[in-house]
Amino acid sequence: MDRLFRPRSIALVGASDRSIWSVSAFDNLKRAGFTGRVVPVNPKGGVIHGVEAATSIGAIGEPIDAALLMVPEAVMHDTLHDLKAAGVGGAVILSAGFAETGEEGVQRQAALSATAREAGIRILGPNCLGFANMADGAPIWTTPLRRPMPNPTLAVVSQSGALASQMEQFAYQQRIALTHMISTGNEADVTIADAIEYLAHRSEARAIALFLETVRNPAAFARAVEAANAAGKAVVVLKVGTSEAAAAAAQAHTGSLVGDDRVFDALCRRLGVVRVKSLEELVVTADIIGRIGKVERPGLAMMAMSGGLCEIAVDQAEVDDLPLPALAPETLAALREALPSYATPNNPLDTTGAAMTQPNLIAEAMRIVSNDPAIGLVSFVFDAPAKADARGFAARFIDAVGQGIAKAATPGLMFSHTFSPVSGEGRGMADAAGVAYSGGGLRHALTAISHLFRWSEAQPQALDLNRASGVRPQIGDGERGVLDYLASHGVPVIPGAVATSADEAVETARGFGGPAVLKIASPDIPHKTEVGGVALRLSGDEAVAQAYADIRARVEAAKPEARIDGVIVSPMRSGGVELFVGTLKDPQWGPAIAVGLGGVFVEALKDTSLRLLPITEADALEMMDELRGKALLDGFRGAAAVDRAAAARAIVAIGDAALALGSDLVSLEVNPLLADGERIEALDGLVIWEDNDEHA
CATH of the domain at 523: 3.30.1490.20
pLDDT at 319 over 50: yes
Band (pLDDT 50/70/90 cuts) for residue 129 is very high
pLDDT value at position 546?
97
* 3 state SS of 610: strand
Q: How far is CA 134 from the centre of its chain?
A: 27
- Last residue in a domain, options 293, 316, 349: 293
Sign of the alpha-carbon torsion through 32, 36, 37, 40: negative
Within this chain, do residues 384 and 509 fall inside the same structural domain, yes or no? no
Q: What confidence tens digit (pLDDT) does each residue in 147-196 have?
A: 999 999 999 999 999 999 999 999 999 999 999 999 999 999 999 999 99
pLDDT value at position 255?
58
| Cα 657 from Cα 201, distance rounded (Å) | 39
| Cα 650 from Cα 503, distance rounded (Å) | 34
Q: Residue 92 to residues 190, 192, 626: CA-CA distances in angstroms?
A: 10, 15, 45
| Cα 445 from Cα 285, distance rounded (Å) | 7
Within this chain, do residues 299 and 389 fall inside the same structural domain, yes or no? yes
| Cα 364 from Cα 504, distance rounded (Å) | 81
CATH of the domain at 123: 3.40.50.720
CB count, 10 Å around CB of 256? 12
CATH of the domain at 171: 3.40.50.261
pLDDT value at position 241?
73
190: alpha, beta or left? (left if phi > 0; alpha if psi -120 to 50) = beta
Q: What confidence tens digit (pLDDT) does each residue in 19-59 have?
A: 999 999 999 999 999 999 999 999 999 999 999 999 999 99
| Cα 402 from Cα 414, distance rounded (Å) | 9
Does residue 83 form part of some domain?
yes
- Last residue in a domain, options 556, 571, 586: 571
Residue ranges of E strands in 145-278? 154-158, 178-183, 207-212, 234-239, 274-275
Average the pLDDT over 307-328 and give the result. Answer: 96
pLDDT value at position 466?
87
Band (pLDDT 50/70/90 cuts) for residue 252 is low
Peptide bond into 672 cis (omega under 30): yes
- Last residue in a domain, options 248, 275, 293: 293
Band (pLDDT 50/70/90 cuts) for residue 600 is low
pLDDT value at position 259?
57
Within this chain, do residues 288 and 355 fall inside the same structural domain, yes or no? no
pLDDT at 119 over 60: yes
Average the pLDDT over 625-630 and give the result. Answer: 92
* 3 state SS of 495: coil
Work out the mean pLDDT of the chain and round it to a whole number: 93
In this structure, of 103-107, 239-243, 290-294, 498-502, the range with the lowest mean pLDDT score is 239-243
Does residue 483 form part of some domain?
no
Cα first-last separation, the chain = 50
Within this chain, do residues 391 and 343 fall inside the same structural domain, yes or no? yes
Q: Residue 82 to residues 67, 79, 415, 454: CA-CA distances in angstroms?
A: 11, 5, 52, 50
CA dihedral 12, 14, 18, 19 (to 10 degrees): -70
Does residue 135 form part of some domain?
no
pLDDT at 143 over 60: yes
Within this chain, do residues 638 and 540 fall inside the same structural domain, yes or no? no
Within this chain, do residues 601 and 554 fall inside the same structural domain, yes or no? no
In this structure, of 322-326, 582-586, 636-640, 684-688, the range with the lowest mean pLDDT score is 636-640
Q: What confidence tens digit (pLDDT) does each residue in 630-679 have?
A: 999 998 777 889 999 999 999 999 999 999 999 989 999 998 999 999 99
Residues recorded for the chain = 696
pLDDT value at position 354?
85
pLDDT at 459 over 80: yes
Please provide residue 626's backbone torsions phi and psi, each rounded to the nearest 5 degrees.
-85, -10
For the chain, the farthest-separated pair of C-alpha atoms sits apart, in whole angstroms, at 103
Q: What confidence tens digit (pLDDT) does each residue in 363-409 have?
A: 999 999 999 999 999 999 999 999 988 888 899 999 999 999 999 99
Report the DSSP beta bridge partners of residue 670: 581, 685
Does residue 96 form part of some domain?
yes
What string of H, E and C letters represents the secondary structure of 581-596? EEEEEECCCEEEEEEE
Within this chain, do residues 555 and 625 fall inside the same structural domain, yes or no? no
Is pLDDT larger for residue 123 or for residue 525?
123
In this structure, of 48-52, 323-327, 441-445, 631-635, the range with the lowest mean pLDDT score is 631-635
Q: What confidence tens digit (pLDDT) does each residue in 224-235 have?
A: 999 999 999 999
Within this chain, do residues 299 and 288 fall inside the same structural domain, yes or no? no
Within this chain, do residues 3 and 50 fall inside the same structural domain, yes or no? yes
Q: What confidence tens digit (pLDDT) does each residue in 513-559 have?
A: 899 999 999 988 878 889 999 999 999 999 999 999 999 999 999 99
Does residue 489 form part of some domain?
no
Within this chain, do residues 164 and 306 fall inside the same structural domain, yes or no? no
Does residue 222 form part of some domain?
yes
Does residue 143 form part of some domain?
no
Within this chain, do residues 563 and 595 fall inside the same structural domain, yes or no? no
CB count, 10 Å around CB of 61? 8
Report the DSSP beta bridge partners of residue 381: 415
| Cα 288 from Cα 207, distance rounded (Å) | 9
Q: Which domain holds residue 548?
A: 495-571
Does residue 466 form part of some domain?
no
From the list 122, 134, 227, the residue with the least C-alpha distance to 182 is 134
* 3 state SS of 437: strand
H or E element, residue 162:
helix 161-173
Which residues lie below 8 Å from residue 327, measured CB to CB, with a gap of 6+? 301, 335, 345, 346, 347, 369, 372, 374, 375
**Count of domains for the chain:** 5
Band (pLDDT 50/70/90 cuts) for residue 257 is low
CB count, 10 Å around CB of 33? 11
Band (pLDDT 50/70/90 cuts) for residue 322 is very high
Within this chain, do residues 12 and 1 fall inside the same structural domain, yes or no? yes
